[in-house]
Amino acid sequence: MNRLATVALTALAPISWGSTYAVATELLPPDRPLFTGAMRALPAGLLLVALSRTLPKGDWWWKSAVLGTLNIGAFFPLLFLSAYRLPGGVAAVLGAAGPLFVVGLAALFLGERARARTVLAAVVGAFGVSMVVLKAEAALDLVGVIAGVVSSASMAAGTVMTKRWGRPEGVGPLAVTGWQLTAGGLVIIPIAALVEGAPPALDGKAFLGYGYMMLINTGIAYWLWFRGLGRLTATSVTLLGPLSPLTAAVIGWAALGQSLTPVQLIGMAIAFGATIVGQLPGREPEPAQEPFSSAEGTDRNDSMDLGNAEVRR
C-alpha cells in the first residue's frame, strides 16, 4: 500500500474520535465518563483478541500492560478529568499540543530528527485548534491543566513506545491493538467503580451508542491508528491528531445545530493545512515496518487480520 493510502486510512482514527462528544451527549448516560471509557476499551479489546486468536507471550505481557495503560488506561481518565474541569475547549487545546510531546520523545527514543517543519506544523496545528474550540471566557483550573498535560504526555509516550517496541514476530496489528485495549480497560474498571459507583441503567439509545463507541470509535479506530504507526513515523501519525477536534466541530455544526464563526472557520483551515504539511515526506525515507518485526511476517498477518476480522470501513 502506498504512503498516501496509509495516511488516509490512519486519518480515519482521529476523524472517528471526533464523533465521541456528539455520541456521548446524544446517546449515552450523562456524567459517566469512566464507565464510558471502560465500555469503549475492554469489550473492543476482548473482541479483537478473540478475532486474532493470539495472546501475548513472554515480555509482551508486561509490554502490553504498559502500552495499554499509557494509550488507554491512564489517557482516558485524565482526558475526562481535564474536560470536566476546563471549560471553553482548553482541554482540546492541551490535547492538540500532544504532537509536540511526540516530536521530542521520538527524537529521544526513536532517533526521528525533529525537523523545523514538523515542529512548526505541530505548533500551527495547535494554534488552529485553539481558534476553533477556545472561547474568550475560558478559565484555567490547575488540576484540569495538569490532567490535560499529563494525558497528552501519556498518549504521546504510548505512541512512541508502541513504535519503538513494534510487535512480536509474526503477529499482526489486530492482536496488539486488542492486547492494549484489554489492558487499558482493566485499568479503568476499578477507577470507574471507585469514582462513579455501580454501572448506570442502559436503554436502547445507550446500547446503540456504546456499540458504536466499542466497534467503530475504539476497536477499528485504534487498529487503524496502531497499524499506521507500523508504516509511518510516529510524528507523521500524531500530526493527524487535530483532525479529531476539527471533526467534532463539523459534527456539532451539521448535526447538533451549533454555529461556526468566521474565526473558527479560519482556525479549521489553519489546523487542516498544518495537518497536510505534517504529512509531506521528508528527505529521509519513512520506515516500512515497525522495529523488531520481519516484513514477511507482518505482511502475512496483516492479510490474516483483515480476512478474519472483516473490519473494512
pLDDT of the chain, 313 residues: tens digit per residue: 688 999 999 999 999 998 988 898 899 998 888 999 999 999 999 999 999 999 999 999 999 999 999 999 999 898 888 877 775 567 777 788 889 999 999 999 999 888 888 999 999 999 999 898 877 555 677 888 898 899 999 999 999 999 999 999 999 999 999 999 999 999 999 999 999 999 999 999 999 999 999 999 999 999 999 999 999 999 999 999 999 989 988 998 988 888 889 999 999 999 999 999 999 876 544 444 444 443 334 443 444 343 343 333 4
pLDDT value at position 286?
Answer: 44
> Can you tell me the distance from the alpha carbon of 277 to that of 7, in angstroms, rounded to the nearest whole number?
12
Cβ–Cβ under 8 Å, residues 276 and 309: no
From the number of C-beta atoms within 10 Å of its C-beta (0-12, 13-18, 19+), residue 235 rates as buried
The answer to whether residues 96 and 125 touch, using CB atoms and an 8 Å cutoff, is yes
**Assigned C-alpha cell, 50:** 478473540
Rg (CA), the chain: 18
CA 128, CA 123: separation in Å to the nearest integer?
A: 9
- The contacts of residue 187 (CB under 8 Å, 6+ apart) are 68, 69, 72, 73, 74
Q: Cell triple for residue 242?
A: 487535530
Q: What is the pLDDT of residue 50?
A: 97
Chain position carrying cell 498544518: 274
Distances (CA, A) of 186 to 11, 22, 93, 145, 225: 27, 25, 28, 26, 21
Q: What is the Cα 71 distance to its own chain's centre? A: 8
Q: Letter for the amino acid at 203?
A: D
Say what the pLDDT of residue 282 is. 63
